Structure 1
């Protein structure tokens, strides 16, 4: 299979994101991973590496859950 046709399973996705395989599975189940590019094998979704180019995982970086909370509102 050519490099441009390579597909990643949970292990490769987890390594790319710096998380465990279990966490990658959990993210897929919660809908916080991009949709798989290949679902032809049941229970073994596959993604193209290019699917993750420019994609930012939900929950990393900015804490959007703190927006406009009294603790962070400094306008008083």
Structure 2
């Protein structure tokens, strides 16, 4: 199978995202990773590697809503 036709299971997705297989399953159940490209085999979703190119998981980066307003500069 050519690289562009290769499909990833939970193991490959987890490795790509740097998480456990269980976490990958949980994220799919919560809908926080892209929908699988192939669901032809029950309980074995598969993704094309290109599905994750340029995709960034939610929650990655700075959460400005957690920090309130920045402090006012001191006058002097």
Larger Rg: 2
Corresponding position of 1:73: 69
Which structure 1 residue ranges, 4+ long, deviate > 4 Å from structure 2? Answer: none
Report the Cα distance in structure 1 between the residues aligned to 2:18 and 2:25, rounded to whole angstroms: 13
Q: Deviations over 1:30-76 (max 9, x none)?
A: 1000010000001110000000000001112222xx52x6x521377
Q: Please say if 1:29 is aligned against 2:24.
A: no
Corresponding position of 1:12: 12
- Using the size of structure 2 for normalisation, the TM-score is 0.85
Report the Cα distance in structure 2 between the residues aligned to 1:62 and 1:11, rounded to whole angstroms: 28
- Using the size of structure 1 for normalisation, the TM-score is 0.85
Q: Give the aligned CA root-mean-square deviation in angstroms.
A: 1.5
Corresponding position of 2:53: 53
Report the Cα distance in structure 2 between the residues aligned to 1:36 and 1:2, rounded to whole angstroms: 19
Report the Cα distance in structure 2 between the residues aligned to 1:73 and 1:20, rounded to whole angstroms: 36
User: Alignment length, in residue pairs?
Assistant: 72
